[in-house]
Structure 1
Amino acid sequence: MKKVYILFLLLIAMNSYAQEQEPLEIALYPEGTPNALGNKTKDIPMLYYYPSAYEGVLKTAVVICPGGGYTHLAIEKEGFKMAQWFNSFGVSAIVLKYRLGGDGYKNPVPLQDVQQALRVVRSKAEEWHIATEKVGVMGFSAGGHLASTVATHWDLGDPLAKDQLQRLSCRPDFVILGYPVVTMEDDFTHKGSKKALLGDEPDADLVKKLSNETQINEKTPPAFIFHTYEDGAVPVQNSLQFYSAMVAAGVPGELHIYQKGGHGLGFGPESSSYFTWRETCSRWLENINMVDGAIE
């Protein structure tokens, strides 16, 4: 009887844990989506909020941009699972379903969506127990391009804006890039992402503006970057060039290149050295005073 009771308690605990992992779904633009081409799911950007447990201390938060070549979103592998991992060491996570070039939303719409997401998170700081100076962004593949774009194309808000949200900063306090598309220059870009975001014949100035390795300056936030040497879809030079530009501008950060593994690995197989990026990343967040007591 005692064993049955203990099993019953364990099942309750497991069910409670599962329920806690259900995100809060929030429309990115509750007053109506600007530049919308329709009212279908693809036209309505969303936030999926995964809160970490509040223990009396304001939390770090991260906006997560899944990849998918600006044509679809790998939102489960590069979004929801990442959010749950961040929760495991006390970071609140917000997965962004942004609008896509493949659905007709060319630049600058995806950038506007991630800028809005960062402002929304800061506007919810009191309600969500978030430290406004500890709000970062993470992105994978094309989502890494979006994350690196907001890291290099941000503003501190317009103090005269009628919309209170637009008075808030959209600068991320830290950046995490997983096998990111960074450049739009033909030598090393992911051509599908470039076409989806910029169209068939983009202006040369726009290509340079969104080649984010060329946009880094001393005010760019610190970044943690990881990639594989064997990535056949997004060349490792994307990460190398971004990190090299960071060093040249005096921006701190870390770059980790793993020999084995292709593209779009997410967490990756446990048997690979690539799998260790999670622990390394959480330690980095601890080292830059974004989290306390990071774990694997």
Structure 2
Amino acid sequence: MQFEMCALPGGGKLELYLRSPDPAMPNALRRPLVLVVPGGGYEHVSAREADPVALQFAAAGYHTAVLTYSVGEGARNHEPLRQLRAAIGLLRQNAERWGILPDRIAVCGFSAGGHLALSGAVLDCPGEAADRSRKPDAVLLAYPVITAGEYAHRGSFVQLSGSEDRAEHQRFGLEGKITPDTPPVFVWHTMEDATVPVENTLLLLAALRKNHVPCEAHLFEKGVHGTSISTAEVDAASAHRAHWVQLAVEWLNDTFDFHLE
């Protein structure tokens, strides 16, 4: 495996975990990529949702990368979204050199990182032209922040807007931004999540279904917020809930028609 790190605008960074090509593996000389977007309420970038996740997808045969984006006051003015768009653009620009299939780039976001991942699929930055080349081809979401309404994770929207004004927060709500052009979505959540209530995912699913967007959802009964890959490594071990990773890999394999077996 090769490791590279790239700087992004505004102090963001992109860490790449690239599977090494070999003529002995002719079916995998070029591979799809999963770009992991950790959560943290737009206050920090969670290490528990970074390389532990990337290495799971790498083990499944994917190139992977982890996005570190601006948080706190640095999250204002859509800066994290600009950094995500820059990261996807960089991956496509270097697809040949890095052995990436440029039309098979997925984003995998957790909590507020899920909000950012889906924003990258459905929003454009104010003042910038719409650019499909900087949007993902599939979206994987874990207990995502979606709504700025009744079930909002309010802190995320305060960081993004720099305001306590709930009317300002509505600019960043996502359930009303889904269109038929939204790429396929895989999402999972727990019913016990008291930090980002499961209603965030239920509202998203209703919007995806209304717009005929391909999607798959898994709701687990047990688990607090932020369980990442649900192993002992991330201090959230649950053999049952950890199945989400394999479910996501199987879904993505079918979505991208990428099968190494």
TM-score of the two chains, using structure 1 as the length reference = 0.79
Alpha-carbon distance in 2 for matches of 1:125, 1:144: 24
**Cross-structure match for 1:91:** 62
| 1:137 is aligned to 2:107 | yes
Match of 1:181 among 116, 137, 145: 145
Match of 2:43 among 61, 71, 82: 71
Deviation at 1:59, TM superposition (A): 0.7
Once structures 1 and 2 are overlaid, which stretch shifts more, 127-136 or 193-202?
193-202
| 1:27 is aligned to 2:7 | yes
Alpha-carbon distance in 1 for matches of 2:74, 2:136: 27
Does the 8 Å CA contact 1:154/1:170 hold for their aligned counterparts?
Answer: no
Does the 8 Å CA contact 1:224/1:254 hold for their aligned counterparts?
Answer: yes
Does the 8 Å CA contact 1:260/1:272 hold for their aligned counterparts?
Answer: no
> C-alpha deviations, 1:109-133, integer Å up to 9, x for none?
1111101111011011000111111
Deviation at 1:154, TM superposition (A): 4.5
Deviation at 1:24, TM superposition (A): 1.4
In structure 2, runs of 5+ residues without a counterpart are 232-236
Alpha-carbon distance in 1 for matches of 2:157, 2:170: 12
Does the 8 Å CA contact 2:157/2:172 hold for their aligned counterparts?
Answer: no
Does the 8 Å CA contact 1:61/1:130 hold for their aligned counterparts?
Answer: yes
Name the Cα RMSD after superposition. 2.1
Q: Secondary structure at the match of 2:35?
A: strand
Percent identity over the alignment is 34
> C-alpha deviations, 1:175-209, integer Å up to 9, x for none?
00001111122x111111111111224473x5333
Deviation at 1:151, TM superposition (A): 1.4
TM-score of the two chains, using structure 2 as the length reference = 0.89
**Cross-structure match for 1:109:** 79
**Cross-structure match for 2:248:** 281
How many residues end up aligned between the 2 structures? 249
Q: Secondary structure at the match of 1:239?
A: helix
Deviation at 1:168, TM superposition (A): 6.9
Does the 8 Å CA contact 2:73/2:162 hold for their aligned counterparts?
Answer: no
Name the aligned partner's letter for residue 145 of structure 2: V
Match of 1:211 among 146, 168, 173: 173
Does the 8 Å CA contact 1:208/1:214 hold for their aligned counterparts?
Answer: no
| 1:47 is aligned to 2:14 | yes
Alpha-carbon distance in 1 for matches of 2:155, 2:30: 40
**Cross-structure match for 1:124:** 94
Q: Secondary structure at the match of 2:175?
A: helix
Name the aligned partner's letter for residue 177 of structure 1: L
Match of 1:249 among 178, 194, 211: 211
**Cross-structure match for 2:234:** none
Name the aligned partner's letter for residue 207 of structure 1: H
Relative contact order: is structure 1 or structure 2 higher (C-alpha 8 Å, sep ≥ 6)? Answer: 2
